[in-house]
Amino acid sequence: MTVSLIRSVRVDVDQPGAPKVPGRITTTLAKAKELRPFVEKLITLSRKSLPLQRRADELAVSADKNSAEWRAWRDSEKWNEWNQAQAPVLALRRRAFSLLRDNEAVDILFSDLAERFEDRAGGYTRVLKLANRRLGDGGFQAIVEFVGQNDRVRPTRSVPVVKDEPEASPVATEAPAEVGSSEAEGEQENANA
């Protein structure tokens, strides 16, 4: 079941029987509760390998295998340093393989999930109890999923910000007299007289 949860992260949507949501499976509640600590330990194991893998990558050579440059690197002391840096990473991958027994799941675990949860201290999975029961034995169903992707984000209400408008500086400016209004006043005075 652990392998199916991990393998559901990399999904080909064109494949028949592909999960609707990557990184999520539906199972019974009891199995989900048993699965969670097992998966969490595996992800922690893969997270521990990230700094070790980066150190080994710095020491690696970019030359093609069996080229003259690669052979010179292989015979040098740098290869021994790379080998010593790569050994703990290989040991962690072998430990994960001994638990999973699936090469693709180990690859997904160490490449995708380790990087995804690199900054998270724990709590990589979520178990959600479903309301409907399974047909047949009436067992409780649950969803097991990885957190952090497709999470609902609750919109936060923001209070509208009132901006204070700067007050206009008091300048002694007279409004220009309307041209038509002074002529109209003059005509009114002439008519009254």
Tens digit of each residue's pLDDT (9 = 90 or more) over 74-95: 999 999 999 999 999 999 999 9
Tens digit of each residue's pLDDT (9 = 90 or more) over 54-67: 999 999 999 999 99
- Distance from CA of residue 134 to its chain's centroid? 32
How far is 71 from 85, CA to CA, in rounded Å? 19
pTM: 0.74
Give the homologous superfamily in CATH for domain 2-146: Ribosomal protein L17 (3.90.1030.10)
Provide the residue ranges of all domains of the chain, joining segments of one domain with +.
Answer: 2-146
Would you state the pLDDT for residue 12? Answer: 84
Write the CA distances from 55 to 8, 50, 86, integer angstroms. Answer: 29, 9, 8
Would you state the pLDDT for residue 41? Answer: 97
How far is 130 from 140, CA to CA, in rounded Å? 7
Would you state the pLDDT for residue 102? Answer: 96
The token pair that represents 137 in the structure block: 């034995």
Q: Which of 32-41, 64-73, 159-168 has the lowest mean pLDDT?
A: 159-168
